Structure 1
Amino acid sequence: MIVIGLGSGRSGTASLAKLINAQHDALCFHEMNPSCVRFHGTRRPIINTIEEYQRILDGGNSSELTVDLSRPVAAVAYDKLCTMKSVKLIGDIAFYYLSYVEDILTVNPNVRFICLKRNKEATVRSWLKKSEIQRWRSKKIADKLSALITRQPYYESRNFWQEHDGTEWEKDLVWDKCFPKFDANNKREAIEQYWDFYYSESEKIAQKYPEVFRLIQTESLNERQQQVALLDFIGVAQKEMVFTDAHIHKLATRD
């Protein structure tokens, strides 16, 4: 089985990856190849991924997979995949798959999609914190002095949700293109619009493809009953299910 996880980000997708990776002969990436995709308009890299997954499930060479090896978490997962003798379940989890669900289903109608939905305000607060540029106090002072001397901008955060010229927020060549953009008065408002858009689209897809697309509340990942339902949904036999420890999703209670 191929499984694709989704969610707005800051929504528990790392915990979902942990649950899937705990299964026998399973490998789930977390944002495997963001360098090659945009939120819209890069169908080919997405389809390539699905086709490469299927070849691996059919017994092909596990190393023949396009992975962004500059990301340590992806490189570690790839190295593990290359050592596996058998692969029965494979996939990736990333927010940017949302625009490509129907494209994926046109080439492989058996793919399963799990979309996590976290509380809106908690998600917005978490994204505001995550998009800050973290520095030690001494580093902050040094960077401010450097910016003053070189007359370069001093950035305190990034903004993935609005078009901008790099004056106020630092540009990010990988992640800026992976998010949709919104006409908003400020960054918080843009993230709020992003959350609204993401789950409005997710609900439409879930209604259209209920057999293959599940939209679930993030907090329910802590429940054994929900873990059973998700693993059954992605084709894991009940006698082979491996459950992760309770409270795997600490993100639900903090920023």
Structure 2
Amino acid sequence: MANGPSLLQRQAIGNLITAITKENSTVWGNYLWEQFENWNIIANSNISMYDYYYELKHLPDWPKRSIVYTILMSWNYHHSLQTLYSAINKLIYLKVCNATEYFLMQYMFNFLQYFSSVCKNLNTIEIQQNMFNRDMFTLRFWKDNSHIETHGIVDIQFSSVGKEPRIAIVPWFDLIDKKTNHLYNYNTQSGIDNLVNTEFVPLLQKEFAKKHCPWIYSNLRFGYQKENLNRGIVIILSSLEYEDRNGVQ
């Protein structure tokens, strides 16, 4: 795609947008079409199903990641957990992701959903993307729509294409306390271990895409430690393995 997407790629992406938005067109409106306006995406094409699956799977890293970014950031438009969940599953089913995106999308959703209960309204939860490093995200759980005070944040960063796949997830202690009602002691290693094993390991084990794509093989390792300024827990996911063993090769 050095000179822009090919005709087949533009047709495949157009059909992908249609597939995502038709499940709840009143929620999506024209949002996704507007995000990809500069790509000259073709709607309602007659591309074959084989070409549709093949072109999406074999998109280069950059457009795949750009599509993933757009779906994640769409949260700020619709604020619907079910809509985001459905779109993520669609990207994974159609192989519009690599290893880092596969884990990133699911874990961002899991942590977003887990901490969402601290807010009275989902509209007060915001996903922010760092303007200087697009691989860095922050989930902000605002106290109200004024966006002045937060219950806390979760920072998420993942490696760029070509580097060893790694993801860092950093929930801050003030947000954890709000969610767990100050249940854990952060001053001892046993308290940190108890927190991670009780609250966060279940989120890391929840690869919901496998309910829809049981043929996917995945694996990872993770470690954790206190954040340098003692503001939260740094969870490092490494040795990310992902393989979709089904469909068009």
Calculate the TM-score normalised by the size of structure 2. 0.23
Q: Which has the higher contact order (CA 8 A, sep 6+)?
A: 1
By percentage of residues, which structure has more strand? 2
Calculate the TM-score normalised by the size of structure 1. 0.22
